[in-house]
Structure 1
Amino acid sequence: MQYKDFQKTKEPKRPLLKNCARAFFVGGIICVIGQAISVFYMYFFDFTEQTVGNPTVATLIFITMLLTGLGYYDRLAQFAGAGSAVPVTGFGNAVISAAIEHRTEGFVQGVGGNMFKLAGSVILFGVFSAFVIALIKTIITYLGGAA
């Protein structure tokens, strides 16, 4: 009990409101950039609102990976906290950071083996969920056609 009281006196106060504001604004700016990319693809490449999502997400992940490789995204993440980790850009950063960290171990065992440690579970969950939804839709369609 005495240690907890001592620890509280020595622990630096975190600027909670300031951190939340940073996360909110940086996350919002990332989302505005994503919306601008979507509008760009719809205007110049004739995507529809239903089909523009995939190229927009891929572009955001590519930009994040490029900025992480150049060392800029880490500075943004230090400033923004969760505001840069929650959008899809956090996924791109997680993939490329692991690859950069283990590049000295070689391309196969280092980069390839460690790149999807964190992101692999996300990809696996997405693929498995898509399979289950497709299976349910197929069963419902089959039962609906048989009746």
Structure 2
Amino acid sequence: MNEQRYQTIEQQISPKPPIGMNMLKAFLVGGIICAIGQAISYFYIIFFDFTEQTAGNPTVATIIFIAMLLTGFGLYRKLGQFAGAGSAVPVSGFGNAVISASIEHRTEGFVLGVGSSMFKLAGSVILFGVVSAFFVALIKLILVTIGVVSW
């Protein structure tokens, strides 16, 4: 059987994924995660006297922490199976990915298993964030120096 005929038969036999329903699930779950993040942000603003600008960092840290707890209890995997990208795209997906790698390699020990696996993903994300922030700050400094924008 040649490859083209095989692909034709496979397309005929394979069930069509419910793309519309998958998009709706991803949209709703992603929106709910973002709404929870907004509620956490308001919590920090109301009870801890943060401003809208300063509440962002603790809000992100809290969402990542909650996602890590849910991953540890095995609940985030079920959410990911239901919602797909709706649970992976928000920042909670980052926390899930970091902890999932650590849990998978915990038998290798805390340093070589958990620690190194955690930073396989987190290290590249943190590095990209730091380098991106450096270049954005450098561009802003240049634009401020030549008088295009002001601080």
TM-score by length of 2: 0.89
Q: How many residues align?
A: 144
Aligned Cα root-mean-square deviation (Å) = 1.4
Query: What is the correspondence of 1:1-147 to structure 2 with a 5 Å cutoff?
Result: 1-141=4-144
Residue 91 of structure 2 aligns with an amino acid whose one-letter code is V
Over residues 98-124 of structure 1, what are the superposed CA-to-partner deviations in whole Å (9 max), with x where a residue is unaligned? 000000001111111111212221111
Structure 1 gaps of 5+ residues are: none
Aligned residue for 1:116, secondary structure, equals: helix
The C-alpha deviation readout for 1:80-108, integer Å capped at 9, x for no partner, is: 00000000001000100000000000111
Counterpart Cα distance in 2 of 1:34 and 1:123: 21
Task: Return the offset for 1:138.
Answer: 4.2
- The DSSP-based 3-state class of the residue aligned with 1:24 is helix
Distance in 2 (CA, whole Å) between partners of 1:141 and 1:20 is 42
